[in-house]
Amino acid sequence: MAYNQTFPTSTNDDYDYDYEEASEMFVWTELMPTLIIYSITMILGIVGNVLIVLTTLLYKRMKSPTNLFLSSLAVTDLLLIVFCIPVKVAKLFSYSWSMGALLCKTVHYMQSFTAICSVLTLTVMSIERYYAIMYPMKAKYICTISQTKKTITAIWLISAILAAPILLVQVSRP
């Protein structure tokens, strides 16, 4: 069924809209659940991920390839939580982006970087686990702490490079 509708065209760009008045009126019943969820996520995310990183750093017996990969995931989660959640919360109280072009690019870059880094880390972790299960004797000599650190460094560099186009194309529009 096809519709044939005509929409009125208006050349009048004069709206009866007071930006200052609208920006001062927040619907707290809509904002409060989001603020609560962001706050809980931020607190639990920071505490949990810091505990994972500290446990891996402070206890020598916790330094295994798998735990180092988990620590890398925890650090990427921390970066996402620290950089992006506060900006998202601040954005809830504004109807337009007022935080500048640099912060706009940084937040979008960090979102892409952490997502890519997490996916690559989980992929390499899966490969390492597969290798450790299928070839346990070889894995002892190939999946070492030193090799894991090099792999994590490579993952972070690759993630930084793959996320870099965001810095070139992301535009802040007020």
One digit per residue, the tens of pLDDT, for the chain of length 174 reads: 555 555 555 555 555 555 565 555 667 777 888 889 999 999 999 999 999 999 999 998 999 999 999 999 999 999 999 988 998 888 887 767 777 888 888 899 999 999 999 999 999 999 999 999 999 898 888 889 999 999 999 999 999 999 999 988 877 665
Is residue 3, in this structure, part of any structural domain at all? Answer: no
Can you give the residue range of the structural domain that contains 118? 27-169
Is residue 46, in this structure, part of any structural domain at all? Answer: yes
Total domains present in the chain? 1
Number of residues in the chain: 174
pLDDT value of residue 94? 76
Distance of CA 133 to the CA centre of its chain: 31
CATH number at residue 48: 1.20.1070.10
Q: What is the pTM (predicted TM-score) of this model?
A: 0.78
- Burial label for 131, CB within 10 Å (0-12, 13-18, 19+), is middle
Is residue 21, in this structure, part of any structural domain at all? Answer: no
